[in-house]
Structure 1
Amino acid sequence: MRRSRGPDPACRDHRTRPPHPGNLPAELNRFVGRADELAALTAGVAEARLVTLTGMGGVGKTRLATQAGRALRDRFRDGVWLVELSDVREPHLLDHAVAEALELADHSGRPTRDALCDDLADCELLLILDGYEHLVDACAPLVARLLRRAPELRVLAAGRRPLGLPGEHNQPLLPLPDADAGELFADRAGCVVAGFTVDDSNSAAVAELCHRLDGIPLALELAAGRLRVLSVQQVVDRLDDRFRLLTGADRLALPRHQTLRTAIGWSHELCTPAERLLWARLSVFGGQFDLAAVEYVCSGPDLPAEDLMDVVSELVGQSVVVREETRAGVRYRLLDTVRAYGADWLAALGDTERLRRRHRDWYVGLATWCELDWFGPRQDEVATRIDVELPNVRLALEHSLEVPEEAYLGQFLAGTLWFFWVGCGRLSEGRHWLERSLALPADHHDARLKALWVTGYVAVLQGDPARARRVLEQCWSEARYAGNARAAAYAQHRLGCLALTGDDMPRAETLLRAALAAYREVGELNSNVLMAQVELAMAVAFGGDLAAAEELCAEVREVCAEHGERWARAYALYVLAYAAWTRRDLAGARRLLTECLAIDHAFHDLLGAVLAMELLALVTADEGDAAEAAVLQGVAARIWPSVGPQLFGSRSFNRPHELCERLARAELGDAGYAAAVRRGEALGLDAAVRRVLGGLPGPRGSAAGERGPETGEPAVSPAANGGETAG
C-alpha cells in the first residue's frame, strides 16, 4: 500500500518531524528580481487564507509561488506542499493528484475528497496549487471545502485566473521591469555562454531585447538559449520576423498572450524541420518520458528512430525539452506552454489521434512488461518505473476509455496494473480505473475477465465484500463458460481471500486449495500464486494447524528466494513470524517482522505494513515493554483508515490486537495505555518504521521470553487456547 509520509494531522511532537516538511523542489538556478512581489505575496499569505497569484503563461508564477513557499516554511508546522496540476487533464483526477502530492494515502473506499478533508483537518500547512486554470471549475469547490474543514490550512494558487471564491486575495503578476529583465537575461546567458557579461558592447542590444520581449521570463530564457549559436544583436535582428509571423494569429487574445506565443513560435521557427516535428509529437506525453518511449512513439519514415537521440539533444540545448535526473534515470519533459504549442502544430498536421494511439500502445506494452517482471528480482525497479510513468499511464487509460471500440484495451491495461494498485499502495485509484473500464461495453472476454478479478481483489482489500463477491462470482461464471481456466483460477483464488477476511476458514481453505491446483494445471507461477499459498497458510493457521501453515510459508520463502521475489515473501515472513511468536521465539519473530516491515514499506504496501505493525506490537508486549507495544498499536490505528476496515472487521485477524491491548492495559492502566496510543498516532508510518528498524528499547524484566500472552501465565499456544492466532 501507499506510504503515508505527508503532513501528519495528529503530529503534535515536533521532534518527530523533519525541520522543513514539504515537497518544494530544489532550486536549479538563481531567483532573480521580484523582491517587491515576493514581499507582497508572503504578506498576503499571512493575511488571507486563500491567495491567488495570477498572470499569463510564462510570466513566472510558479517560480514566485515556490520562492514564497520557501520564505514561509518556518511559519507552518506541517510544511509547504506543492501540487503541480498541469499534467492532470481530467477533473475527476484532481483529488487523486492533490492526495498524491501531499503523500497522503487512502485506500478505504471513501471518496478521496472526504479523505483529504479528514487528513488535513488538524494540519497547519501551506498548500501551493500550480497550473490549475484548466481545472478551475473542479478546483474551486475543492479549495473551498478544504478551507472550511481545515482552519489552519492556507492556500496559495498560481494560475491564469482567480478561483472566484469568497475571501480570495488576488495578486496579479506582471512581467519583469527592465532592470530585473536584464539581470535575468544576463544570468541565464551566463549559464549558456561561459563568461558572458553585459558590457558596453552589448548593453544596448540586451536592453532592446528585454524591452521587446516585455520582460517575460520564459521568453527571456528562450532568447538566452539561442546564444549558443547567435550573438545578442543577432537575436535582436531576428525578432522582427518572428513577431510578425504570429501577430494577429488570435486578434482577440491579450497582447501579452500574443507575446508569449511569439516567443515560443520564434523558438519553434529556429528549429530544424526534424526538431519541429519531434516537438509536435512529444506533446502527446504527460509529465516525464524517457528516450525509449520517444523512439517508439515519435519515430517514423520522416523521423528515423536512430536519429532521435540527436534531435532530442538539440531540443534540450534549445530549452524546449527539459532534461531531469530522476530515481528512474534520465528523463525528459516539456514545459506546459511549450507542450501546448507543440500540440497545436500536431493538430494542424492532422496527426494527433495516430500519435495518441502509439502513445497508448507503448504504455500498454510497458505495463505488460512490468507485470511479467514483477515476479522477479526487479520488483523495486518495476514499482519505481510505473510510479514515475503514472501521468502517461493515466493518459493511456483515458484514451482507451474514450474510444468505444478500444475499451477492451482500457480493461486490459487497468487489470494488468494489478501489481501497482495492490502491491504499491494505489488501491483507490486502481478501483477508479477498473470500475470505469467495466462500465463500458467490450467484446474482448479475456480483458474483461482480468478487469473483473482484479476489481474483486481490490474490493476485498478495501473491505467491500458485497462488490467483491458480485464481480468475482461473475468472473468465475463467465470464465468457466468461456473455457478460460486461468481467469477461473484467479476468481476462485480471490473468492478464497474474501472468505479468509470474512472468517469463513473452511470455505477459504477449500477455495484456495482448488485455486492452487488450477494454477498448477494451467502452468501459472507468479506472485499471485505465491500469495494464494500464503493466504492458505493464514486460513490453516486460523484453523489451528500452525505446523502446516509454517510449512506452506517456508516453501513460499524458498520460491521467492529462487526468483528474487520480495513482495509475496513479506507476507510469508509475517505468517512465519507468528509461528515463531507462538513457539516463544520472540527474537526470531522480531527478526522476521523487521524484514517484513522493511519490504512492505519499500513498496509502500500499507496493508502489509500495518499487519506487520500489529503483530510486532504483540511481540513487543510479550517482550515486556507494554508502553512501546501501545505506541505501535497507535501507529497501526492511524494507518488502518487509509486501508479499509480495521483488521478487515475480522475476528481472526483482530485477536492479536486484542491480546496485545489486554496485556498493555493491564500493565499501564487505561490512562497510560491511551497516552501511549496517542504517541503512536502522532508518529506517522515513516517515523514508526525508522523507530522499528533502528531498534526499539529493550524489553523490561528478565522473564520476557518465558511467559504467555497474559502476565504471569505459562506459555500457551493461542491455537490451542480458543484459536487465538494471528494471520
Structure 2
Amino acid sequence: MRQRPLRIRTRGNLPSELSGFVGRGGELARLGRLLDSARLVTITGVGGVGKSRLALAAARAVAEGIAAESRDGGGPGSRPQERHFHGVWLAELSGVRDPALLEFTLAEALGLTDHTTRPPRTVLAEHLAGRRLLLVVDGFEQLVEETAELLAELLRRSPGLRVLAAGRRTLGVEGEQAFPLAPLEPTGALELLVGRAVAADPAFVVTGTTRPLLAELCARLDGIPLALELAAGRLRTLSPAQVLARLEDRFALLTGGARGAPARHRALRTAIGWSHELCTPAERLLWARLSVFAGQFDLDAAEYVCAGPDLPVDTVLDVVGELIAQSLLVREETPAGVRYRMLETVRLYGAGWLESQGDATRLRRRHRDWYMGLATWCELDWFSPRQQEVAALVEVELGNLRLALECCLDEPEELHLGQYLAGTLWFYWAGCGRLTEGRHWLDRTLEQVPAEGQEEYEGSRLKALWVLGYVAALQGDAVASMSALHECRDAALRSGNEVAAAYAVHRMGCLALVSDDMARAGELLGAALDLYREAGELNSNVLMCQVELAMAMAFQGELAGAATLCEEVREICEDRGERWTKAYALYVLAYAALDAGDTAGARRLLTECVTVNHTFRDLVGLVLAVELLALVTVTEGRPAEAAVLQGAAEPMWGGVGLRLFGSGYFNAPRLMCQQRAGEALGPEGYAVHAAEGRQLSVDALVLRARWVPGRDGAPRTGKPAAPRRGRRVDTSL
C-alpha cells in the first residue's frame, strides 16, 4: 500500500504570547464556559482593562485544546473541541477606518484569496458556511454598526461559526452574550505591576517598605492593566513613593471623561496623561506624530514623517527607544524586519494632542508622501532579487498604504496621487493575490472627477486605467477590462504617451488570450513588445507579455517557438533575480515538455512553478500549474493522485473567478486529465479521490504537489494524448 502525504490544515493565526497572563484565572475559566454555550460572546470594558489580552488567552486555550485533540488522535465528533475543528482566527480591526475595508480585513485574517468580482461578504459567507471555527474580533469600536451587521449575517449563514469579540461596548446582535470585564482585583493588580516592573528592570525588588506603596498605587489606578503597565515602566527610574507623588499632583489636572463617567474611565485618562506629562518635550512630540501611522511602522518611516526643526532626525532613534522603555511603543519582529507599534489607546491619546496642535493635516500628508515613495521603490525593486522581500514588505505595510490612499482621496486636488499609488501597486494586486482589493482602490480613484488644472497628471490616470484593465481581465470581467483599456489606449495616443499605450495594447492582448482569440492575442502581444522595445521598457510586465505571446503560440501548436521565447525569459529572470514572471515561463516550458513526452522534465518545471506561485500567493498561476501537473501525473500512470490534484484545484478556481477564464485552450489539460483518470478509476473511484483533493488546504496541496513520484515506484513516461496541437479542445467531454 502506498503511503499518502501527510495532510496539513491551517488551524489559525493567533500571535504568540510575549508576556505572562496574570490575574485573570477566574475570568478565563468563566469565559471558556460561556464560549461552550454561546455563538457570540463580547468582552466589554473600559479601554486598557485587558479585553484583548483576555480574548487572546481564551482563544489560545481553545487552540491548545484542538492541538491536544490532534495529538491524541481525536477527530471530529470525538471531543467537545470539534466545534472549533477548523481552528481559531484573529481579526484585528483597530486600524480599519473605512467600512468598505471591513470585509477585506476579515477575509485577510482568515487567509482567503479571491480574484473574482464577487463581494467579499459573499466570499466570507461561502468560506465559513461549511466550517467550524472560532473567530476573534478585536478593536471594532469605530465601526460598531458595520461590524455588528456583518457578524450577524455571517453567524446566520454559517452554523459552525462562533465569534469572540472584544470592545468597549456590545454589538447589539441577537443572541449575543456580554462578558463585562472589571478591573483587576488588588492581588492580581499587584502581581501584574510587580511582574512588569521586574521584566523592565530585573533589579527591581519588593520590600516591606515598598509593598504598601505599590498596593496603594494599584488602588489609585483602579487595577486597570494598561495603567499598571505604564506605571511599571516608570518604576525603572522612579521609586514607588515618587510615582505616587507625581500621580497625586496630576489627578486634578488630568482627570478627564464626561461628567458622571465611572471613576475607572478617569483613572485611565489620568494614567496616560500622567505618563504623557512625565515624558520629555521631544518624547511628547514624537508620541503625537507617531499617531498618524496605522499599525506597524519602521524607523525610516518614523524619521521621515516625524522629524523636523523641533525634532532633529538624528534624535528620533533615541526618542523611540525611550518610548519603548516606557511601554508607549512596542517593538515587534516581522517578515519585513523590526517594526514598532503603538497601543491603540495610547495612539488615540497622541492623536488628540496632534489635533490640538493643529499639525495633523501636515503629518498625514508627510505620511502619505512616505508611502508613495515606498510604493514607487517597491515597484522598481519588484524586478530584482528582492522580489519576495518586496512582497513581504507591502504585506506588512498594507495598513499604512491604505491610509495613504484614503488621504489622497480626501481632497480632489490630490486625486492624481491616489491614481498613481493605486496603479503603482499593480505588482501586489496581480502578483500577490490581492485582485479584489486592488479593484476596490482602482475603481475608487477612477470614479471621481479630477480637479481642474490636473491635465499635467494624465499619466497617473492612464496608469490606473491599464492596471484596472489588467485586474479586471484576471477577474474574468471582460467588459470592464476592455472599457478601461480602450480608454487608456485612446488617451495615450492623443497625448503621445507611448509607454501607457504599450501597456494598454499589452493588456488587450492578455484579454484576447484568456478569451481564446489566439490570433488576435498574438497580434496585440507582438505589437506591445515592439512598443516596449521602442520605449526602452524592460520589467516584469514586459517579460510577462513575452510569456503570454508564447502561450498564444503554444496553444496554436507552435511549441518550438513558444519554448524559445520562454527560455529567453527564464534566462533574463534568472539574471535579474525575478521569480514571479519566471513561474509563468516555466508553465509554458512544462506544457512543451509534456507535449514532447518528457514527463520528468515537465514535473520538475511545474514543481518550481507551484512553489513560486504559492510564495507570492498568486492563485491564478498556482491553479494553472496544478491543473497541468495533474495531467503530468496521470501520464506517469498515477490516476488516483491525478484525481486528487484535480479535486484540489476545483475550489481554487472559485477564488479566481470564471473557471479557466472560460477558455478551451487553458481548459484542455483539465479535461484530458479528467477523461484519462476517469477511464482508469471509473466514475465512482474518480469521484472519491477528487473529493479527497477538495478537502486539502492550499498549503497541503502545495506540499503534495512537491511529492517525489519515485515513492510510488518508477514513473511511467510517454507522450500524452493531449493537449493536441493547432486546435481548440472540445469542451463537451
Q: TM-score range by the shorter chain?
A: over 0.9
Q: Which amino acid aligns with 1:88?
A: V
CA distance in 2, matches of 1:25, 1:624: 44
Which residue number corresponds to residue 16 of structure 1?
7
CA distance in 2, matches of 1:584, 1:592: 14
Structure-to-structure mapping, 1:170-569, within 5 angstroms: 170-248=178-256, 250-251=258-259, 253-442=261-450, 443=454, 444-569=457-582
CA distance in 1, matches of 2:390, 2:728: 43
Instruction: Deviation per CA, 1:91-142: give whole Å up to 9, x if none.
Output: 1100000111111111111000000000011111111100111111100111
Structure 1 residue matching 2:584: 3-state secondary structure? helix
Structure 2, unpaired ranges of 5+:
67-80
Which residue number corresponds to residue 605 of structure 1?
618
Structure 2 residue matching 1:129: 3-state secondary structure? strand
CA distance in 2, matches of 1:642, 1:420: 17
Which residue number corresponds to residue 3 of structure 1?
none
Which residue number corresponds to residue 25 of structure 1?
15
> For residues 185 and 104 of structure 1, do their structure 2 counterparts lie closer, same or farther at Cα, with a shift above 3 Å needed?
same
Structure 2 residue matching 1:565: 3-state secondary structure? coil
The 10-residue stretch of structure 1 (189-198 or 385-394) with the greater mean CA deviation from structure 2 = 189-198
Tell me which of 570, 580, 596 is aligned to 2:609: 596
Q: Which amino acid aligns with 2:53?
A: R
> For residues 336 and 680 of structure 1, do their structure 2 counterparts lie closer, same or farther at Cα, with a shift above 3 Å needed?
same
> For residues 698 and 625 of structure 1, do their structure 2 counterparts lie closer, same or farther at Cα, with a shift above 3 Å needed?
farther
CA distance in 1, matches of 2:595, 2:5: 38
CA distance in 2, matches of 1:46, 1:372: 51
Q: Which amino acid aligns with 2:48?
A: G
Q: Which amino acid aligns with 2:29?
A: A
Structure 2 residue matching 1:228: 3-state secondary structure? coil
The 10-residue stretch of structure 1 (528-537 or 66-75) with the greater mean CA deviation from structure 2 = 66-75
Instruction: Deviation per CA, 1:217-272: give whole Å up to 9, x if none.
Output: 00000000001111111111111122222125643544322211111111111100
Q: Which amino acid aligns with 1:120?
A: L
1:689 and 2:680 aligned: no
Structure 1 residue matching 2:131: 3-state secondary structure? coil
Structure 1, unpaired ranges of 5+:
1-12, 710-715
Checking the alignment, whether the CA contact within 8 Å between 1:624 and 1:700 is kept in structure 2 is no
Structure 2 residue matching 1:171: 3-state secondary structure? strand
Q: Which amino acid aligns with 1:32?
A: V
Which residue number corresponds to residue 10 of structure 1?
none
Higher relative contact order (CA 8 A, sep 6+): 1
Structure 2 residue matching 1:26: 3-state secondary structure? coil
1:705 and 2:717 aligned: yes
1:44 and 2:50 aligned: no
CA distance in 2, matches of 1:205, 1:298: 38
1:58 and 2:71 aligned: no
Structure 1 residue matching 2:54: 3-state secondary structure? helix
CA distance in 2, matches of 1:722, 1:433: 37
> For residues 522 and 30 of structure 1, do their structure 2 counterparts lie closer, same or farther at Cα, with a shift above 3 Å needed?
same
CA distance in 1, matches of 2:108, 2:435: 13
Checking the alignment, whether the CA contact within 8 Å between 2:5 and 2:707 is kept in structure 1 is no
Checking the alignment, whether the CA contact within 8 Å between 2:595 and 2:720 is kept in structure 1 is no
Checking the alignment, whether the CA contact within 8 Å between 1:82 and 1:127 is kept in structure 2 is yes
CA distance in 1, matches of 2:555, 2:465: 28
Q: Percent identity?
A: 59
1:70 and 2:80 aligned: no
Which residue number corresponds to residue 718 of structure 1?
724
Structure 1 residue matching 2:642: 3-state secondary structure? helix
Instruction: State the shift of 1:354 in Å.
Output: 0.1
Q: Which amino acid aligns with 1:287?
A: G
Which residue number corresponds to residue 7 of structure 1?
none
Checking the alignment, whether the CA contact within 8 Å between 1:400 and 1:409 is kept in structure 2 is yes
Instruction: State the shift of 1:311 in Å.
Output: 0.7
CA distance in 2, matches of 1:206, 1:405: 55
Q: Which amino acid aligns with 1:16?
A: R
Checking the alignment, whether the CA contact within 8 Å between 2:664 and 2:730 is kept in structure 1 is no
> For residues 176 and 411 of structure 1, do their structure 2 counterparts lie closer, same or farther at Cα, with a shift above 3 Å needed?
same
Instruction: State the shift of 1:717 in Å.
Output: 7.0
Checking the alignment, whether the CA contact within 8 Å between 1:621 and 1:660 is kept in structure 2 is yes
Two-structure CA RMSD over aligned residues (Å): 1.6
CA distance in 1, matches of 2:712, 2:208: 76
TM-score between both structures, scaled by the size of structure 1: 0.95
CA distance in 1, matches of 2:90, 2:334: 18
Checking the alignment, whether the CA contact within 8 Å between 1:718 and 1:724 is kept in structure 2 is no
Instruction: State the shift of 1:690 in Å.
Output: 1.1
CA distance in 1, matches of 2:417, 2:205: 55
Instruction: Deviation per CA, 1:182-214: give whole Å up to 9, x if none.
Output: 111111111012143333121110110000000
Structure 2 residue matching 1:683: 3-state secondary structure? coil
Corresponding pairs, count: 705
Q: Which amino acid aligns with 2:344?
A: D
CA distance in 2, matches of 1:358, 1:248: 31
> For residues 14 and 614 of structure 1, do their structure 2 counterparts lie closer, same or farther at Cα, with a shift above 3 Å needed?
closer
Checking the alignment, whether the CA contact within 8 Å between 1:543 and 1:723 is kept in structure 2 is no
Q: Which amino acid aligns with 2:498?
A: A
Structure-to-structure mapping, 1:140-155, within 5 angstroms: 140-155=148-163
Instruction: State the shift of 1:511 in Å.
Output: 0.4
Instruction: State the shift of 1:699 in Å.
Output: 5.9
CA distance in 2, matches of 1:717, 1:338: 61
Checking the alignment, whether the CA contact within 8 Å between 1:54 and 1:172 is kept in structure 2 is yes
Q: Which amino acid aligns with 2:466?
A: W
Checking the alignment, whether the CA contact within 8 Å between 1:623 and 1:700 is kept in structure 2 is no
CA distance in 2, matches of 1:327, 1:67: 24
Instruction: Deviation per CA, 1:342-380: give whole Å up to 9, x if none.
Output: 000000110000000000000000000000111111101
CA distance in 1, matches of 2:349, 2:524: 56
Checking the alignment, whether the CA contact within 8 Å between 1:542 and 1:723 is kept in structure 2 is no
Q: Which amino acid aligns with 1:133?
A: E
Instruction: State the shift of 1:678 in Å.
Output: 0.8
CA distance in 1, matches of 2:703, 2:714: 25
